[in-house]
Each structure stands twice: as structure tokens, then as C-alpha cells.
Structure 1
Amino acid sequence: MITFDRVSVVYDGTDEPVLRDVNLSVDEGELCLVVGHTGVGKSTLLGAVNGLVPHFTGGTLYGTVTVDGRDTADHPPRELADVVGVVGQDPLNGFVTDTVEEELAYAMEQLAISPTVMRKRVEETLDLLGLADLRHRALHELSGGQQQRVAIGSVLTAHPRVLVLDEPTSALDPTAAEEVLAAVTRLVHDLGVTVLLAEHRLERVVQYADRVIHLPGNGRVVSGAPSEIFTASSIAPPIVELGRAAGWSPLPLSVRDARRAARPLRTALEGAAPPPVRAVPDAPGATLLGARGITVAYRGVPAVREVDLDLRAGEVTALMGRNGSGKSSLLWALQGSGPRAAGTVRVGRDESGAPGAAKGGDPKKLSAAEARRLVGLVPQTPTDLLYLESVKQELDQADIESGTGTGGKAAAGTTGPSARAILDRLAPGIDGATHPRDLSEGQKLALVLAIQLAAAPRVLLLDEPTRGLDYRAKTQLIAMVDELAAGGRSVVVSTHDVEFAARAADRVVVLAEGDIVADGPTTEVIVASPVFAPQVAKILAPLPYLTVDQVTAVLPGGEADA
């Protein structure tokens, strides 16, 4: 179905090829998982399948890519649209209509499919992806996860023979991700659709893969069975990391298989208390933000219902819940920029005595500059806050707005570091002349964090910060969050990434239909839920382990395979 014959891709202005002499063959009805660290060429590999590379992206493609007998060099994307369906990382950028139902029908209209067939496929897709209740909703009113499902559905209605998915579950809660992946697997098994899927949250998808295509970062591609590739790959989900630490062979790829292999490991761990995931203070710090009766409604429909929440110094809180539960609405209401139908938010004053220290109050009732000193927010799409032509311009503007000076120096009368100094600590080595849109996802997040932190907010809110980040970048983000908490800030991370929450958060707050339904220490809340429990917790239950690092700390020197 798909053949790469000695394919290399070189972009203009670069010396080294992104892909180098790739030979690859993908059969009909095969689900291939494409893995690799951020920036190694996964999107380039996927883009070459439908001709986006090089027809749209530019650069030079050497060799031949053939899809269902068509050479992509001779067929631009529009001539492959009936064969290849593509869903990109940012669904909102791909929408061309206004409502869910219209978007599902659009691709079929372009392919001149009859109205009766269109109607039938729209209904099937609405049911398949759980979108029936949203059919008449405006796309811009949907949550990020709901938009992701619509984007996938708009491709499925055309019944492509090849489906290319780039981070398809990045904005989905665990249950919605399972539903989407089950639907994709059904297409593979029942209809013979060929799927190429790139995903950083490997713990969600590895069990469904027939084959893994690994990009180690040197332009080459290594292909093989999942258990074979993950034995030595530089990137792997927690279930594989645990299998490596325990010396299991073959490596299990599903929780069911891992639990069977883990019986001796559970026996060896009994009686040993796991070390804490994070070094946390003995007692929480002072309350930095107090919210009472927060209510948010859109056109009379409540999104957040009379929520009370206290955020304390030095604490990292994970805000979790299914798509559409009100997480983003709550964050924007706390920050002051979003709508708030009722309730109050109070941020305590900064008692440090530093010049320009925040005076406290309700961010909604203060000027934008004063509110930024109290509460900073990084939205789901960090690039929404980037609007200038270079990294340096963005950093200088942040310094001006925050009063911390420009050019890397603090302004007179202030003590806070400049945005440049913060960025160099978070992600060193970024050239100031680089356009912000040319940065990797992790670098964009670091830049926006630096811009927000230049104002020295006491409370920092992060909305889905792990989208587009690989495991290595998430580890770096956890280090950033730890540093912020150690400095006395309160950090809230809204996330669907249960593995990240297990490693990063002291406390978990779960929302459902705008209400807080759970609030407590991370270990208690996520282990109690089969939906939010990380892989290690599922494999070793009822033992209270959350991460692979906890296991290796208790059983050093390879004792885990006893």
C-alpha cells in the first residue's frame, strides 16, 4: 500500500537531511506506530505519504514514495485525497466550516459523493466518535478534545484507504482516547484501512500497533515488531521501561500481559514502602489564591458550577477530568480574563517587600499588567500568545510589559530576572533571531513560560502543557514545575496525561460537569480511579507504586527479575 524507496528529504537552508535513505513498505490493513523524540522527522515522514512533503512544505525529496500505486512526486495532495486522509496536530487549523455536522460532510462534498451516502456516513461517524450530541455546535465552542474528535471524524467520512494521524489523542481524556483508538483499530481489522500513527503518549497506543517505525534521530528509519523495537529504543512507554527494569522477555505491551509477568515482582516489592515521587514539604504553604462560588456559563449553559478552590504556595495541582468538564473555563475564570457569572477570586498580596511586588486582589478587577503579577496562564495552544517576528522581540516585549527591563538586564527598582534569563534557564541555546513559529513544541512552551514568568506571578496556570511533548521534554517540564514550586509559587496543570500527573503533581482535583468530584493527594486520587491510574499502578496494584523510578529505587541492581 505504501512504499518508500531510498527516500531522503532536505529542507532549504539545512545541511543535513531530515530523512536519509529510507526504505520502507507498509502493507494494507497494517497499523504502524511512528515513534521518536520531538524534531526527528516524524511529521516529515507522515507528510511524505500524502504529498504534503515537498509540494506544500518545500524542500527536496529524493527517491520515490508510492501510495496505492501513485507516485506522490507526480500527484499533489488534492489528487491523493480520495486515498489518504490526514489529521494534523492542531485540529482547529484544519477546519473549514462552522459546525460539527458541516465539517464532517465537507470532505465528501469535495469528492462529489452523493447526498444520500453523505448523510449515512455522517450519522455513522457521529455515533462512532460519540459526537451526536454536538452535531449542531459551533466548532470554536468545543473543547480541545472535542475538536480533535471532529477532525478525525471529518477524515473518516471520506472512507480513505490510508489514514495518517499525527498526535490523534493529544487533547483527549483517557476514556475518549480509548474510544478513538478502538474506532481506528476497528477500521484496520474490519475494513483493511492502513494506518500510520505518530503519538508521544505511547502508553495509550502501543498495544494496538502491528509494527513500530522508530526514528532514532539520525535521519534513518528502523522498522520492526513492537517488542523487538522497544527492546533498545531511546523512547518507550512506562510499561516497557518497567519490563526492561524487571528483565521481562518478551516485553509485555498491554497491562494485562504485564500483570501476568509481574507476579514475582509484586511479591518482591511487598513490605517495602515506595519512596515519594516528589520531594514535598511536610505541610502546605500559605494560601496564595482563594476561589469561592466560581460559576461560568456560556449562553445559559453552565460550564463551572459554584467551585471553591484554594491554591497553596509550593504545591503542584493537577486539574483533571473528561473533555468538556470545565477545566479550561475554570482556569480562565481564575486568571481573570475569562467569563465569570458568579463567585470571587482573591490572590494574597506579596509580602516579600520587593519593589513592584503584587498588591493582591481579584485579577478580574485589576488592569492586565497588575493581573499578570498575580496569576499567569499558558493556554492550550501557547502560540496564541506569540505575535512578534523573533524570539528576542517577544522577550523584550515581555520585559517592557512586566517592568523587568530589556536586553537581559533588570530594570531599575526591580529584582526579578529578565525573560531572556528565564528562557535560558528553561531551554538554553535558543537563538534570539529565530521566529517563534519555527521552534519545537517544547521550545514554544518554554518561551511562553518565560514571557509569563517575567511578571513573577504568584500563581501559574498551565492548560494542557504536555501536548506535543515527548517523554524527555516532559521530564524537563517537570523540572521546570518543581523549580517554580520550590520558589514558593502555586502551579496548576490542567492535563489528560495521567503519567505526567503521577510524576509532577502533589494534589489532584477532578472536575465533572463543572463540579469538583475529587480533591486530594495524587496517590489517593489517581490510584482510586481505573481511568486516571498510571500504567505502573495498574500493573502492580494493590501495591502503592506510581512510577518506574519508585520500583527501581526499591529494587536496585536488577533484583526486579527475581
Structure 2
Amino acid sequence: MIRFEDVSVTYDGAAEPAVQGVGFEVPEGELVLLVGPSGVGKSTVLGAVSGLVPHFTGGTLRGRVTVAGRDTRTHKPRELADVVGTVGQDPLAHFVTDTVEDELAYGMESLGLAPEVMRRRVEETLDLLGLAGLRDRPIATLSGGQRQRVAIGSVLTPHPQVLVLDEPTSALDPAAAEEVLAVLQRLVHDLGTTILLAEHRLERVLHYADRVVLLPAPGQPPVVGSPSEVMAVSPVFPPVVDLGRLAGWSPLPLTVRDARRRAGDLGERLGASAPAGASWPVAQPAPLQGACAAAGSRTAEKAPTSTGRRLRFRRRPTSTPQAPQPHIAEIHALSLRRGPVTALRHIDLTVTPGETIALMGRNGAGKSTLLNSLVGLLPPTTGTVTVAGATPHRTSPRDLVRRVGLVPQDPRDLLYADTVAEECAAADRDAGAEPGTCRALVSELLPGITDDIHPRDLSEGQCLTLALAVALTARPPLLLLDEPTRGLDYAAKARLGGVLRGLATEGHAIVLATHDVELAAEIAHRVVLLAEGEVIADGPTAQIVVSSPSFAPQVTKILAPQQWLTVAEVRQALA
């Protein structure tokens, strides 16, 4: 169905090809997973299937790409629209209409389908993707995950023979991701649809794939094989494979179920060790301006709230009594309406220096809205928000940037210069930092980004890295991140985790909204669960995620009832 024959793509002005010597086939009716490190050219390969590369992006394509027998060099994207449906990394760039239902119908209207056919397919897609309750909603009011489901639905309604998906679950909560992937698997098995998708969160999608295509590094030929064959040599792999490699299991497990069947001996070896996550201490931060050091560990006490009972924390004194820990941010009785929707209800939350908090919950629960209220983009309807002694929505941007920094879901919102070097220089000036501060952060997070590249030409993961470096340049005491691992491979995510842990150790408070349960297990001291704009749980990471089927990391599921969170913990215990 899809054939790549010695394909190379070089973009205008680039010194090296984005991809080189790519050759593989995707048979009809299979789900093929495209994997590889960030920036290796996965999005370019996907774009070549739909004809967007080179007809839309420009550049030179050498070799041959055919889809259902059509050569993409001689067939423009509109001439492939009846065969190929494409969803890119940025759903907003995909939308044409204003409401959910209109967007689902637009592609069929372009193909001239009968109204009765369109109506039936819209209803089917609304049910398949759990969008029925959003059918009349303006797309601009949806959360990032809801937009991603609408984007996927809009390419499903025309019933294409081939689906090309770039990071289809990156903004989805775990339950929604499973629903979407189950729909894709049903299309493959029941309708014979051919699917080629790229995804960094391999723990979600690997077991659905019929085969895997690995792009190991620029200029190297792809490795094609079954998921277990490719994972044995892949530089990117999910925690279940990492644990299998550590334990010496062969063949490597691809699912939690496979790993649990083999984990008996490993569980016995770990039985005498205490999981680090069970006591998960708050980082001991260095003093911030006017802030005292972190004190002691935490104990939980229950306090009634307007929405039920949730966990709050007080410090247990150490052997040397210290003053109470000051709060970097305080939210009291916050409610916030966005148009007809009450996005937040009666939120009480405090953030202390050196603390990393993961905001989790299903799509549309209010995570991004809460972050936006902390940075002053959305004023409270009722209640108060205070950050570093200031009210965010009443503070000038120049002053606020030194108190709180936000990396939004679309990191390009922070970028406006023509090159990476200019972007970094502007960030240094805005923050009053030493020249080179921002550039050093970029190099630490994701090496290989050159100074002369345009920020808009970066991959999603590279773009996020640059935006994160821009936000960190001012060294704000409170850092907010909205889905910070979208587009990042495991190595880049590990580097990000190291940077965030270092910032927490220095006394910075970090609040991140994420669906990445593995990231939360790695770096968060505390998890706050939101549902329908309300806090439904607030406590230490191990306590919250271990008891949650949806938000437990893979290692926790494999080694339950022992409360291990990460492969790193297991590796340390075995050593």
C-alpha cells in the first residue's frame, strides 16, 4: 500500500538531508509504527506519504514514494485526499471550521459525499471517539486533548484507505489514548485500513503494531521488523522493554501482561528492598531570595472541602525546629468560567519552594486553565491567586516573567525570532541574564540544534525544548509546564527530567500538567488529580498513582503489589 524506495529529502537552505536512504514497505491492512530519536526525520517521512513533502514544505525529494500506486511526486496532496488522511503534530494547524461537528463533516463535503452519508459517518465518529458531548462546542474552547480527538475524527469520516498519524496520543489522557488506539486497531482489523503512525510514548502503542520501522539516526538505513525484533536493538524503548532488558528476559515483553507473567523471580529479588517511591521525599532546595530551606518530610492530614475530602500536607519538624515553609504560590477558593463552561470550581492549592507537582486528570479537567490562572492569562471569576507575593493578572509582564514562567501546550506561542540564536539572545535580554544563558540551556536539553535554524522549522520536540529554555532563562521561582514531553523521545525526556530535578533542588517550584504517567513517576513529589474542574486527590506521587489503574506507570503495574514506580528504582535496588 505504501512503498518508500531510497528516499532522501533535503529542505531548502539545509546543509544535510532531513532523511536519507529510506526504503521500506507498509502492506495493506497493517498498523506500522515509525520510531526513532527526536529530530531523526519521522515527520518528514510521514509528510512524504500524503504529498505534503515536498509540495507544501518545499525542498527536494529524491527516490520514490507511492501510495496505492500513486507517485507522490506527481500527485499533489489534493489528488491523494481520497486515499490518505493525515493528522499532524499540531491539531490547530489542521482545522478549517469553527465547531466540532462542522470539522468532522468538512472533509466529506470536499469529496462531495451525499448528505445522508455524511450525517451517518459524523454520528459514528462522535461515538467512536467520545465526542458526542462536544459536537456543538467551538473548537477554540476545547482542551488540547479534545482538539486532538477532533483532528483524528475529521480524517476518519471520509474513510480513507491510508491513515498517517504523527503523535496521535501525545495530548490525550491514558484512558482517551486507549480508546483512540482501540479505534485504530478496529479500523485495521475490521476495515483493512492501512495505518502508519509515529509516536514517542511507545508504552501506549507498541503492542498494537504489526511491525515497527526504526529510523536510528540521520543517514542510517531504517530497521524493519516485528516489535520484539526492533525493540531488541532500538535506542528508544518503553519502560516495559527497559525492565525486560534489566531482568534479562528473552524474548522481550511488549505488554504489562507479558511482563507480569515473568516477574515472579524479579519480585522475589526485590522483596527485601523498600521502593524509593514509598517514602518519596520533597527535594531539599537551596535558599531562594527571601525563602528559607525546605524542612523535613511530609505527613498527610485530611481536611474537609466543598468537594469532599482531600489530602493536605503539613511539615513534620526535624530535629532542629524551623520556620514554616513559605509558599511560592497560593490559590484560595478559585473558580473560573470560560464562556458558558465552569472550568475550575473551588480550587485550594499551595506550592512550596523545591516542590514538583504533577497536575493530572482526563482531557478537559481544567489543568491548562489552572496553569493559565497562575501566570495571569485568565483572571479568577471568584477566589484569589498569588504568585511570589503578586497577583498575576494585575502584574506587568516584565515583572511577572521573573516570578513565574509558562511553557504552553503550543510552544511556538513563545517564539517569534527568525533563528534560534536570535531567539536565545532575545530571551537573555528580556530576562536580564548573561549572554549565552538561554543557548546553554538549549544545548543541555537537546543537543544538535544549530544557531541558524528557524524555530518554525524545528520538530515539535525541538520547538518545545527551545521554548522551555526561553522560559527558564529568567530563572523564575515558579515554572509551569503544559504537556512538556510532547514530541520528546525517552532520552530527551530523561534530560528534561534531570534539568527539572536540578531546578527543584535549587529551590524552584515546578507545576506541570501532564498525561505522561512515566514522567510524573520520575520527577513529581506530589500529584494533584483534577476532574470536572475540581481537585479530587492531592498527595505524594507513590500514594496517588499506585492506587490508580489509569495513572499508574508500567513498572508499578508489573511489580504490584510492591510499590515500585520506575526502572531506575529497580536498577538501583538490584545494584
TM-score with structure 2 length normalisation?
0.89
What is the aligned partner in structure 2 of residue 298 from structure 1? 338
Aligned amino acid, residue 455 of structure 1: A
Partners of 2:445 and 2:226 in 1: CA distance: 36
In the other structure, the counterpart of 1:195 is 195
1:247-287: CA deviations, max 9, x gaps? 11111211111111112211221121134578833447532
Q: Do residues 46 (structure 1) and 49 (structure 2) align?
A: no
2:563 aligned partner, one-letter code = P
Match of 1:40, SS state, is coil
Q: Indicate conservation of the 8 Å contact 1:275/1:553, yes or no.
A: no
| Cross-structure match for 2:288 | none
Q: 1:362 aligns with which of 391, 397, 413?
A: 391
CA shift for structure 1 position 15: 4.5
Is the 1:4–1:23 Cα contact (8 Å) retained in structure 2? Answer: yes
Letter in 2 for 1:287: H
Partner in structure 2 of residue 333 of structure 1? 373
In structure 1, stretches of 5+ residues that fail to align are 349-359, 409-417, 557-562
The alignment partner of 2:401 has SS state of: helix
Counterpart of 2:466 (choices 447, 451, 454) is 447
Given candidates 331, 339, 356, the residue that maps to 1:316 is: 356
Distance 1:421 1:61 in 2: 34
Alignment check: 8 A CA contact 2:97 2:103 kept: yes
What is the aligned counterpart of 1:481 among 480, 500, 518? 500
Q: Distance in 2 between matches of 1:320 and 1:214?
A: 31
Letter in 1 for 2:499: M
Moved more, 420-429 or 99-108: 420-429
CA distance in 2, matches of 1:432, 1:25: 36
AA aligned to 2:342 is P
In the TM superposition, 1:358-507 aligns within 5 A as 360-404=389-433, 407-408=435-436, 418-420=437-439, 422-423=441-442, 426=445, 430-507=449-526
Q: Distance in 2 between matches of 1:423 and 1:63?
A: 34
1:427 Cα shift? Answer: 5.0
CA contact (8 A) 1:255 1:538 kept: yes
Where does structure 2 lack aligned partners over 5 or more consecutive residues? 285-295, 298-314, 316-324
* Gap change, CA 1:172 and 1:42, over 3 Å in 2: same
Cα deviations across residues 206-229 of structure 1 (Å, max 9, x unaligned)? 110110011101431111011111
Displacement of 1:344:
1.0
Query: Is the CA contact (8 Å cut-off) linking 1:167 and 1:468 kept in structure 2?
Result: yes
Equivalents in 1 of 2:410, 2:510: separation in Å? 18
Distance in 1 between residues matched to 2:474 and 2:223, nearest whole Å: 45
Aligned to 1:414: none
Residue of structure 2 in register with 1:61 after alignment: 61
Residue 120 of structure 1 aligns with which residue?
A: 120
The offset of 1:431, in angstroms, is 4.3
8 Å contact from structure 2 (residues 375, 404) kept in 1: yes
* Corresponding residue of 1:36: 36
Q: Distance in 1 between matches of 2:432 and 2:267?
A: 55
- Report what 2:102 is aligned to: 102
Q: Is the 8 A contact 1:85 1:160 kept in 2?
A: yes
User: Aligned in 2, Cα 1:215/1:98: closer, same or farther, shift over 3 Å?
Assistant: same
Shift of 1:441: 3.5
Of residues 261, 286, 310, the one that matches 2:326 is 286
Counterpart Cα distance in 2 of 1:14 and 1:163: 29
In structure 2, the CA distance between the partners of 1:389 and 1:550, relative to structure 1 (3 Å rule), is same
**SS, match of residue 200 in structure 1:** coil
Structure 2 counterparts to residues 163-174 of structure 1, below 5 A: 163-174=163-174
Distance 1:425 1:543 in 2: 35
| Local SS of the residue matching 1:314 | coil
Q: SS of 1:34's equivalent?
A: strand
Report if the CA contact (8 A) 1:278-1:503 is conserved: no
Closer/same/farther in 2, CA of residues 479 and 524 from structure 1, 3 Å limit: same
Contact 2:379 2:393 in 1 (8 A): no
**Counterparts of 1:431 and 1:18 in 2: how far apart (Å)?**
14
Assess if the C-alpha contact under 8 Å between 1:363 and 1:374 holds in 2: no
Q: Which moved more, 1:92-101 or 1:339-348?
A: 339-348
Secondary structure at the counterpart of residue 46 of structure 1: helix
Deviation at 1:116, TM superposition (A): 0.8
Which residue number in structure 1 is paired with residue 274 of structure 2? 273
Whether the 8 Å contact between 2:334 and 2:383 is mirrored in structure 1 is yes
Partner Cα distance (2:33, 2:407) in 1: 30
State the Cα distance separating 1:450 from its structure 2 match: 3.1
Structure 2 counterpart of 1:93: 93
- Report if aligned partners of 2:276, 2:569 keep a CA contact under 8 Å in 1: yes
Deviations 1:386-432 (A, max 9, x none): 12223343334334433447x45xxxxxxxxx545554555566544
Taking the aligned partners of 1:145 and 1:178, their CA distance within structure 2 comes to 13
Aligned residues: 535
CA contact (8 A) 1:48 1:72 kept: yes
Higher mean C-alpha displacement, 313-322 vs 258-267: 258-267
One-letter code aligned to 1:194 = T
1:412 equivalent in structure 2: none
Tell me, in whole angstroms, the C-alpha distance in 2 between the residues paired with 1:24 and 1:398: 42
Alpha-carbon distance in structure 2 between the residues aligned to 1:481 and 1:471: 15
Seen in structure 2, the aligned counterparts of structure 1 residues 473 and 427 have a Cα distance that, compared at 3 Å, is closer
Q: CA deviation at 1:112?
A: 0.7
Residues 279/550 of structure 1: CA separation in 2 closer, same or farther (3 Å cut): farther
Q: Is the 8 A contact 1:3 1:24 kept in 2?
A: yes
Q: Compare 177-186 and 338-347 and name the one that shifted more.
A: 338-347
Q: Check conservation: 2:283, 2:504, Cα contact below 8 A.
A: no
Counterparts of 1:212 and 1:289, CA distance in 2: 45
Paired with 1:421 and 1:244, the residues of 2 have a C-alpha distance of 33
Partner AA of 2:115 in structure 1: P
Q: What is aligned with 1:352?
A: none
1:158 corresponds in structure 2 to 158
- Counting aligned pairs with the same residue, the percent is 59
Q: Once superposed, what is the RMSD of the aligned Cα atoms?
A: 1.9
Secondary structure of the residue aligned to 1:373 is coil
Structure 2 SS opposite 1:287? coil
Deviation larger for 294-303 or 224-233 = 294-303
Deviates more, 1:545-554 or 1:322-331: 545-554
Q: Is the 8 A contact 2:282 2:355 kept in 1?
A: no
What is the CA-CA distance between 1:550 and the residue it aligns to?
1.3
- Which deviates the most, 430-439 or 185-194? 430-439
Whole-angstrom distance in 2 between the partners of 1:192 and 1:312: 53
Question: What is the one-letter code of the residue matched to 2:338?
Answer: Y
CA distance in 1, matches of 2:404, 2:192: 50
- The answer for the alignment partner of 2:306 in structure 1 is none
Structure 1 counterpart SS, 2:127: helix
> Which residue in the other structure is 1:245 paired with?
246
Q: Which one-letter code corresponds to 1:117 in the other structure? A: V
After TM superposition, give the deviation of residue 9 of structure 1 in Å: 2.5
Counterparts of 2:344 and 2:508, CA distance in 1? 25
Question: Matched residues in 1 for 2:150 and 2:348: separation?
Answer: 32
Give SS of 1:488's match: coil
d(CA) in 2 for partners of 1:384, 1:88? 17
Counterpart residue identity of residue 328, structure 1? S
Distance 1:399 1:48, change over 3 A: closer
Q: Against the structure 1 CA distance between its residues 430 and 185, is the aligned structure 2 distance closer, same or farther, given a 3 Å change threshold?
A: closer
Q: Structure 2 counterpart of 1:29, which letter? A: G
